[in-house]
Structure 1
Amino acid sequence: MQMLPFQENAVLGTNGLVETFKKLWQTGGHNLDITFKSPTGSGKTFMVSNFVRELQNDPAFNDDVAFVWITFSDDLAMQSRDKFYDYFFPNIGRSLLTIADFSEGILHKDDILFLNWQKLVAKDAKKRLLRRPDEVELQKEQGFYFEDVAENTKKEGREIVMIIDESHKNVTASAYRDVITPLNPRIILNVSATPEKIPTISDVQNLRAGYVEVKRSDVVAAGLIKEQIISQTEEDLKNIEGEDLDFALLRLAKEKRESLAEQWTRLGQNINPLVLIQLPNDDSKLKDQGVETKEELVTRFLTENCEVPANKIAKWFDNKKENLEHITDVDSPIDFMLFKYAAGTGWDCPRAHVIVMFREIESPTFKTQTLGRILRNPVPKVDLTAFPELREGFLYTNYRKNEISDIPDTVENKPKTEVTNLAPHLFGGFATQEATHNVIQELKTSMLDELVANSSDKPISDIAPKIEAALQEAVKQIAPEIFPVQGNTVASPQTEYNLFGEADSQATKNQKTEQIVETATRNVKAILKEHFGEGVANKATEIVAEATRDFAETLVQKQPSSFIVDPLLKSDFISRADYGDIGKASSFQSSFVKSMNNYFGITENAYNNPFAQEGVLEKFGIDMSQRLSTEVLANATFAGTNDLGKNVEHEMSDNEVEKNFMNACYNILEEQTEPDAKYGNIARSWGPFKEALRQWFERYSMTNIDNVGRYKIFLKDLFKNSASIFRKAITQALKEYRPIRDAFVADRRKQEMQEALPFKVKTSYAYSSDFVDYKPIMKSMLQPFKLKAEYPGRDNEIAFIEFLEKLPTVEWWFKQNDDGKDFYALKYFNTTENRERLFYPDWIVKFVDGRIGIFDTKSGFTAANPEGRAEALSKKLRDLNEEAVKRDGREKFVGGLCVRENKLWYCNSAEKYRYKDEKGNLAEGWKLMQG
């Protein structure tokens, strides 16, 4: 491919990349920056590729150099590598490497290594797959890490030149520490359309840095990008007055697309213009609020009002991708594409010509870089002089001028959840215990009389250990890999194949399940025959088989399940009334309507009577006109002049009115400051409050007005902020309901005697990506064990983990999260908040002698003032042990609050908790932990 004149000048000109590079190289310095600023669509990758190739082929520059080219995703790394290959095939003449080539362990002269930056600097250690762990025991036996490649390359005396694509996104403090410092490059080429840091004239003149810029006007003149992007005009907005704004913007975009398509046809080009429609990211919340989402609204308008076939509408979301195949082709039949963040930096679709951007309600920020998606020109070498609109991009939006911000158009994905599982040896053990319990219970339920009549000198519960051993033996015989030795790995069984030679793993699992059921049934029958006789054993065959089937399927099929740790260990709960929310919806709605009527002087006979309440709200200064205008951007131009235009008043669309109403209901509750009007659990309170407000509108205050009209009147008053009449009335209504709610809570506490459920451990747990794998742990119930990367008290908890790991008396331990129904909780009275709360002790520990420990680690202030948790845990342990003595004849539960002093761990389970005495030493009640 031949470079265009402006590209050739940027690479080979007097002050181009090659000459700038050589001047800095001759200084002999390291970590010298060259900033290469070039507009989106100018061919940055093409120019940088030519720069590298010119250096490699320059006879005057024969230094021993290797190149590291870094992007911010795997796709872009491969895209850059593939483009380099395409540009210069078949005369590549050097190695184009990826992470798969780390096996070489070194970069040779002229090698180019293409890397994803995130694989090197990700916060999540599990994602830093290319980095060498500090712990020797974690390092792989074969292969090389990034650090190995850097060190081996430098040992050869070879210099490194680093190229950072989209440098405004990537160069952070951690990047310098983790990537740039190990490489110690001579030159760093920072490539960006919007570089964050531009060197000073002094730095450039004194060869401390370099700067090369491609002017936008040169790129436009070459036909690569459009001259500018223009928004809807003030005249456009006047012409759509009275039309729903959302629908009007879509209609304008559709009409513009059709006009552009006609112009391309007249020009003799087979190009189908694409309309991009960016939906707000907070759109998904609307489904729970009963409001039509923007995705639903846009799809409905295009298919029903505009008669656009569904197969001409593409969707690009994280969890939904439709009609995207060949969408970047200039003649693709797709006319519209809906997206949120997916079509970001690096996406190249030159036929994209029009963009509709809908604002977010909660955090509206217009991202100008998103406009880069419609900047490229699909036919650079075609003269467009006669068709000026083809040299422009078009924006239709309900954003305001003051919401425009030059920030990146891509955001980090939401934290992904990762799964950690119950350790295999514990999985098998728990499953066997549960199956034993089920077998015995089924036999007691179905055959109690026969068991009693044929009993020798022991009840069936006494032979539970034998049944458990029989079940476990059946599994070991059929599928020994299910019961691995702790800490060891067992080779997976050989995969079976069907008649066609294909792997048939499900058939294998089904076969093993049946074999375990058959063997377990036979083993248990033998035990029953020994203790109760052949008649009882034969009659129990079907019962045992059915009871062991779930056991076999759980183990072999790896079905998600949960297991009781000990029937006595039951998780406390707090009823819904105790969560600090509004409480009973019907009681609140009745009280709210009554309070609002009293405030505005509306009588009961106004119920559904449009005439009885006429004029009542006006007397309080409420504007009853059903119009609500909003400011909308107009007359703006981007990319060329960046004239941000002006705001024009326009009636808010119905969909935006509904969204704003829903959001306002949430915010009103959240903004309450008076104690009697403030309800802590907004998520639970929001629904009943919204419905109460709607009922009052519909039945008493605005009976003869539709919902959108009511919302407009309500919002218009709220927008007055402190002068709002509705705000004052609502605060009063919330305060008047407080005694009713408190009485309801008190009554509910007396009446609700629901028994707490036994605490169960699950076979798998999901954690967000801010949890990272902690170094190999042998005794953790969950494998791999995950711990938050950063949080207060982390070092203290790591010290406790190391303590538990070294105790020979510990069989396993389970680290709890601090909320959620999946974790063990006990109720306590919080002495700071003066109310009952739930407490999630940090650790559940199983000892080899059968004891169960419940521990909570503290340090510093939390140890000095545990706010009632210590006493609650002490009482819980006493209650549990009383039940254990009745059941087992011995105490089984230990635990308490734990602190680390002088590198030793102490535990306190005293009835009256005290941290330290007057001399600063641990007070009475603390005992040294020794297992």
Structure 2
Amino acid sequence: MIELKDYQEKAIEKLKDEVNELLESDDSKICVFKSPTGSGKTLMMAEALKRLVRLREDNKKLSFIWISVNKLHDQSKDSLDRYYEDIRIIKCSNFEDLQDKTIDENEILFFNWQSINKKDNIYIRENEQDNNLSNIITNTKDEGREVILIIDESHHTAKAEKSKEVIEAINPKVTIEVSATPQIKDLSRIVEVDFKKVQEEGMIKKEVTINPEIDKIKVGGKSTDDIVIDSALKKRKELKKLYEKVGSNINPLILIQLPDSKAGVLDRKDEVIETLKKKGITTDNRKLAIYLSDKDSKINLENISKPDNEVEVLLFKQAIALGWDCPRAQILVLFRDWKSIEFSIQTIGRIMRMPEFYHYDENELNRGFVFTNLSDVKIAEDIAKDYITIHEAKRRDEYKEIKINSSYLKRQREKTRLSGEFSKIFLDVAKKDNLKDKINKNPSDLVNTLIIDGRIVNLDKIQDVKSKNHLEVKKTARELQYHFDLFLRSVCTPYAPVRSSEIIRTSLYRFFAKEIVIDDYTEIQKIILGTENNQYFIDSLNNAKEVYDKEVVQKLKEERESEEYVWEVPESVMYNSRAKEVDYKKSVMKPHFTKAESTPEKDFIGFLEKSDNDVVWWYKNGEGEKKYFSVKYRDSKKVPRGFYVDFIVLTKDGKIGLFDTKAGRTAEDSKQKAEALQKYIKEQNEKHNKKLWGGIVVPKNDSFRYNSQEKYQFNEANLGEDWDFLSFS
């Protein structure tokens, strides 16, 4: 029988009580279970579910669904199977284990999000046997059981569109979202485990130290990659001796995290494996394990979590950071990526657990260690790209169709990446910029700066990790190549890097061959990346991209394909984490999220929000996508473009206003857009009996004026009769 920690017992009881209260509600409710990495979330969930079903006095019958990411559902199922092995109070099942296409009382169905997102998944789509999730849920509820949904690592999953569809299909009585870093939104209850309590109970380490005593490593001609690996191996040996000293058989594990592969950038895997081989650490002698993608390899992973397993080093990429559990992991090695200074608390969480769930008398064993060639480190919140970084605004229920015609201009692929013409343009620009004479042909040595003896004490806080001491190590030729590849990708914007980075690489090499007569690639990379020169090259490349845009992109003769369609305000719009929620009463989207409004836009929204006007609702339009409203026009160079007006406004008389806020110079430059908008309004009203009005709007002396003339003119000093005073009364 597992002895529960005091904080675990309290959290389990509170979670049980909160879920029981939510089961009495008439509609579906959400309970968030927030508990730090290493606190025993799965154990607490297992015990809480056991107490939920045991000795119920209300005769409620419960069935459970447990959804996780990647293979975490298998790991969770195995953990709960072991936990219930003796009492058999709850049955753990996969789809194949279900009887009579239903989830029995006190049964948990486990699956993962990836499986349900597959189009051909037989458990999600309709099939001849009716053995799909929808039918299983229906059968379960028809037999009088309430469904409780557990979403493990919820911050990585529950906001994706497909995931939300599945949650809606399940329609659980109660959803328990489990995470160390949840998105606190739309919840009914929250049960939270305090980080300090977990730490005080000896479940996780007291602190994490960055590059301790790394300056004592003999540098010689080593790369910074070699230095951090050597330092990590040295620390591992020290820790092994300390475990033996305290009478423990723990074999401390090093985790080496490889950067994600990028097109055109050297892959570090083979180089690291070769370095470890020289240290006597290989997959053959089982001291090295590899955990990469399915297409790569998974080697020596069996029993790796056992305290005395022979594996000393595990090579992995980002995917292992979520849900992987190996308490003997104590050292993390991170390699420098271009301008990257952040890693997630979920990743550092893999070395935060105490292997025997208590703190030792030897304090060094109560620490985690990070060795990295980053000069500064920030611990960042772990935020999933597609799920947690976005918010959702939904169209108000009382919205009625407006059916206005919109145009969408499809992008030309030629405009998204550089072509061979860029090389000649760059050489011309470099000559005009006098780049040859500006640059230092013998720049100072490029070095990697390593932080020494940095410490992370508050493991659950976002923080900059600084150090008074740093070690500078000269970059090797291979490190120069790696960082040069990343530099090329960084200067491609706004063009796609896969093709464009190679065009820029060729252009730079040609410049050196022609103007400076250097063909040694390492020497060229050193000059370009040198601190004295780098900005000169960035400026010339940016100049060349501007010329390329004017002479190549904007002169494309091919007309962009236009799609005409009937537009409605989108049912929902997603926003990233930079968007802020604002309480606007008349916005058609609820809640209303905003990114960065201009001053005229903010003022105009205030004007629309007035309580004494006839505005029913207003919509802040987006741009560049088909879901947003657009009027086709031609710019001053006759190039067809889409005009995405800022605001669509419905008033009580049924009229729809199309307004675009401008001020100063932007108002002066709006002639083509303004005239196209008036032409569109006139045609739609005459041909399709619409009730449209609007135009360019500018603020003037505490009023708003708008231009609805077929011929547009703007004189800020004297707007004249062409500009009417705007009123929504």
User: Could you say which TM-score interval applies, normalised by the shorter chain?
Assistant: 0.5 to 0.7
- Give distance in 1, aligned partners of 2:464 and 2:418: 46
Cα distance, 1:389 vs structure 2: 1.2
- Secondary structure, counterpart of 2:144 in structure 1: coil
Kindly provide the amino acid, as one letter, of the partner of residue 371 in structure 1. I
1:627–1:709 CA contact under 8 A, matched in 2: no
Are 1:194 and 2:181 matched, yes or no?
yes
Question: What is the deviation of 1:87?
Answer: 1.1
Cα deviation, 1:131-184, whole Å, max 9, x if unaligned, reads 24xxxxxx4222322111222222233222222211112222636752333333
Distance 1:593 1:661, change over 3 A: farther
- Amino acid in structure 2 at the alignment position of 1:653: K
Show the counterpart of 1:146. 133
Alpha carbons of 1:669 and 1:584: their partners in 2 closer, same or farther (altered >3 Å)? closer
Equivalent in the alignment of 2:334 = 357
- Which residue number corresponds to residue 530 of structure 2? 716
2:19 paired residue number: 21
Instruction: Give the structure 2 partner of residue 342 of structure 1.
Output: 319
Aligned to 2:2: 2
1:351 deviates by 1.5
**Partner of 1:640 in structure 2?**
459
- 1:161/1:188 contact within 8 Å kept: yes
The structure with the greater share of residues assigned to helix is: 1
Match of 2:644?
A: none
Mapping for residues 176-325 of structure 1, pairs under 5 Å: 177-197=164-184, 209-233=188-212, 236-237=214-215, 244-282=223-261, 285-287=264-266, 293-304=267-278, 306-309=279-282, 311=284, 312-318=287-293, 319-321=295-297, 322-325=299-302
**For the residues of structure 1 that align with 2:57 and 2:87, how far apart are their CA atoms?**
20
- State the distance in 1 between where 2:498 and 2:236 align: 49
Tell me how far apart the structure 1 counterparts of residues 479 and 323 of structure 2 sit (CA, whole Å). Answer: 31
Deviations along 1:3-23, one digit per CA (max 9) or x if unpaired, are 32325523554xx22222233
Residue 357 of structure 2 corresponds to 380
Aligned pair partner of 1:125 in 119, 130, 134: 119
Match of 1:396, SS state, is strand
Higher deviation after alignment, 254-263 or 242-251: 242-251
TM-score w.r.t. the length of structure 2 is 0.62
Structure 1 match to 2:109: 113
- In structure 2, the residue corresponding to 1:163 is in which secondary structure? strand
Structure number, greater radius of gyration: 1
Residue matched to 2:574:
none
Q: How does 1:392-431 map to 2 (within 5 A)?
A: 392-401=367-376, 404-408=379-383
SS in 1 for 2:315: strand
Where do residues 651-690 of structure 1 align in structure 2 (5 Å cutoff)? 651=473, 653-654=475-476, 655-665=478-488, 682=500, 685-686=503-504, 688-690=506-508
Q: What one-letter code is carried by the residue in structure 1 that aligns with 2:475?
A: S
Does the 8 Å CA contact 2:449/2:471 hold for their aligned counterparts?
yes
| Aligned mates of 2:9, 2:84 — CA distance in 1 | 19
1:44-55 equivalent positions in 2, closer than 5 A? 44-55=41-52
Q: 1:175 to 1:592 in 2, by over 3 A?
A: closer
Q: How much does 1:278 deviate?
A: 0.8
Unaligned runs of 5+ residues in structure 1 are 133-138, 200-207, 288-292, 413-578, 602-616, 673-677, 742-790, 797-859, 868-918, 921-931
Question: Which residue of structure 2 lines up, in the alignment, with residue 582 of structure 1?
Answer: 420
* Superposition TM-score, scaled by structure 1 size: 0.50
Work out which of the residue numbers 369, 384, 389 in structure 1 matches 2:364.
389
Whole-Å separation in 1 of the counterparts to 2:532 and 2:208: 36
Q: Distance in 2 between matches of 1:410 and 1:177?
A: 16
Q: Deviations over 1:178-215 (max 9, x none)?
A: 2333333222222111111178xxxxxxxx83222222
**Separation (CA, whole Å) in 2 of partners of 1:671 and 1:169:** 29
Q: Distance between the aligned counterparts of 1:29 and 1:176, measured in 2?
A: 24
Which letter does structure 2 place at the counterpart of 1:170?
A: T
Can you list the C-alpha shifts for 1:814-857, whole angstroms capped at 9, x where unaligned? xxxxxxxxxxxxxxxxxxxxxxxxxxxxxxxxxxxxxxxxxxxx
Instruction: Give the Cα–Cα distance (whole angstroms) in 1 for the partners of residues 269 and 104 of structure 2.
Output: 51
User: In structure 1, what is the Cα distance between the partners aligned to 2:433 and 2:146?
Assistant: 81
3-state SS of paired residue (1:119) = helix
Q: Which amino acid in the other structure matches residue 230 of structure 1?
A: T
Code of the aligned partner of 2:92: L
Mark the CA change 1:224 to 1:595 in structure 2 (over 3 Å): closer, same or farther: closer
Q: Which has the higher strand share?
A: 2
Distance (whole Å) between structure 2 residues aligned to residue 193 and residue 25 of structure 1: 24
Tell me the distance in 2 between the aligned counterparts of 1:718 and 1:282. 29
Residue 144 of structure 1 aligns to a residue in which SS? coil
**Is the CA contact (8 Å cut-off) linking 1:398 and 1:632 kept in structure 2?**
yes
| Contact 1:344/1:409, CA 8 A, preserved across alignment | no
- Is the 2:223–2:479 contact (alpha carbons within 8 Å) kept by the matching residues of 1? no
1:66 paired to 2:63: yes
Amino acid aligned to 1:274: L
- Distance in 2 (CA, whole Å) between partners of 1:792 and 1:351 is 59
Q: Distance in 2 between matches of 1:168 and 1:734?
A: 40
Q: Distance in 2 between matches of 1:691 and 1:192?
A: 49
Paired with 1:680 and 1:12, the residues of 2 have a C-alpha distance of 50
Q: Pick from 24, 37, 40: which aligns with 2:37?
A: 40
Segments of 5+ residues of structure 2 without an aligned counterpart are: 388-416, 553-560, 567-629, 639-685, 688-729
In the alignment, the residues of structure 1 paired with residue 169 and residue 334 of structure 2 have an alpha-carbon distance, to the nearest angstrom, of 43
Name which of 11, 27, 41 aligns with 1:30: 27
Q: Is the 8 A contact 1:65 1:159 kept in 2?
A: yes
Q: 1:353 deviation in Å?
A: 1.0
**Is the alpha carbon distance of 1:87 and 1:103 closer, same or farther for their aligned partners in structure 2, counting shifts above 3 Å?**
closer
Provide the rounded CA distance (Å) in 1 between the counterparts of 2:264 and 2:348.
25
Cα contact 1:596–1:730 (8 A) shared by 2: no
Counterpart for residue 90 of structure 1: 86
**Alpha-carbon deviation of 1:277?**
0.8
Partner of 1:448: none
Contact 1:34 1:190 in 2 (8 A): yes
